[in-house]
Structure 1
């Protein structure tokens, strides 16, 4: 299969849309917020085996924290390392909440919002379909730059992203992957606006 984009970057994901591509072991994915306060939803699968995917539960368990940043490893549902977080300019990302969907807008937003509203789930479904990944295989995403606040009573609140224009997160692939990536479509996650997300894939690192 030919990937939808060339490995040479950078690439821009337009507001409220998504893409998918292969990421080889050792390559580094650089996700950049070009204008500030914009979330990017990321999902990853073992290339050639869509039954192995990025797991929030395994990742939280093995890192013993829900606040992931530089040096933390993201694990698959089979407990294998998938990605390592390298340089993190922002230091606040979310791995608790699922990608926004039609149901998100029906249940959590004003009546009528859902009609025709793009969603990260829908964009991931469309982008990942050519790789044989089904909708039911899209679980909780790594929501890069998303600012989810957890209170002492366990309640969660979505605050404005703290990412500023040009800040990035770098992730190194620990196995060959298929990656889905979006520019988030939910108003509440992006401080009421929709902006693009940039990404670039750098060459395989030695060692």
Structure 2
């Protein structure tokens, strides 16, 4: 396979970019135990966005992995998961925000604390995406456990250094991607996330 550049998202920051239909987005955890929040919008109609509810409905599971397809709020396929080295990701919880740190973390934590929501707003703003358009994100490598009573617990990510998730774009997309800023999601540390884009039609192996 021809080499394509790897882009690094520094800890507690984000990036925005476009994908063409057929492009493969490779999201890599270079050091292990680091979550990455992903959000996508149809490039020609940003009112169409990646939907956790539709995705759960049509896949009949909350645990998404190789072979599953990710749907938009208009029930169109946005991504197909081609390769999943980890097997545990979250699509239940919203991106961390200032309010997350105010409500769930110790007093004073929110002041000056970066957030995935803020980083997505910054990354997607140049594409005309407004803050209120950003819903629940696909939290790649996030280890969310749901017990028999429905209680949600966030465990340390099980991703190891170099493991990846590969997603094929099924339409032209605007994408936001972060290196998550929440201590509780990343086992108390902040590390980078790497990604690369393999153009449509290029073999991935």
Q: Do both share a fold (TM > 0.5)?
A: yes
- For residue 136 of structure 2, what is the aligned residue in structure 1? 140
Residue by residue over 1:50-100, the C-alpha shift from the partner in whole angstroms, topping out at 9 and shown as x without a partner, is: 100000000000000000000000000000000000110000000000000
Residue by residue over 1:160-205, the C-alpha shift from the partner in whole angstroms, topping out at 9 and shown as x without a partner, is: 0000000000000000000000000000000000000000000202
Shift of 1:108: 0.2
Using the alignment, how far apart are the partners of 1:120 and 1:10 within structure 2?
A: 21
Using the alignment, how far apart are the partners of 2:94 and 2:184 within structure 1?
A: 14
Using the alignment, how far apart are the partners of 1:130 and 1:187 within structure 2?
A: 28
Using the alignment, how far apart are the partners of 2:123 and 2:182 within structure 1?
A: 18
Using the alignment, how far apart are the partners of 1:130 and 1:50 within structure 2?
A: 13
Does 2:85 align with 1:92? no
Aligned match for 1:106, one of 92, 102, 107: 102
Q: Secondary structure at the match of 1:51?
A: coil
Using the alignment, how far apart are the partners of 1:186 and 1:161 within structure 2?
A: 12
Q: Secondary structure at the match of 1:148?
A: strand
Runs of 4+ in 1 over 6 A off after TM superposition: none
Aligned match for 1:66, one of 62, 65, 70: 62
- For residue 178 of structure 1, what is the aligned residue in structure 2? 174
Residue by residue over 1:111-147, the C-alpha shift from the partner in whole angstroms, topping out at 9 and shown as x without a partner, is: 0000000000000001100100000000000000000
TM-score by length of 1: 0.95
Aligned match for 2:115, one of 111, 119, 139: 119
Using the alignment, how far apart are the partners of 1:63 and 1:95 within structure 2?
A: 12
Aligned match for 2:48, one of 31, 52, 73: 52
- For residue 33 of structure 2, what is the aligned residue in structure 1? 37
Unaligned runs of 5+ in 2: none
**CA-based RMSD:** 1.0
Aligned match for 2:20, one of 24, 31, 38: 24
Using the alignment, how far apart are the partners of 2:16 and 2:194 within structure 1?
A: 13
Aligned residues: 200
TM-score by length of 2: 0.96
Using the alignment, how far apart are the partners of 1:75 and 1:142 within structure 2?
A: 11
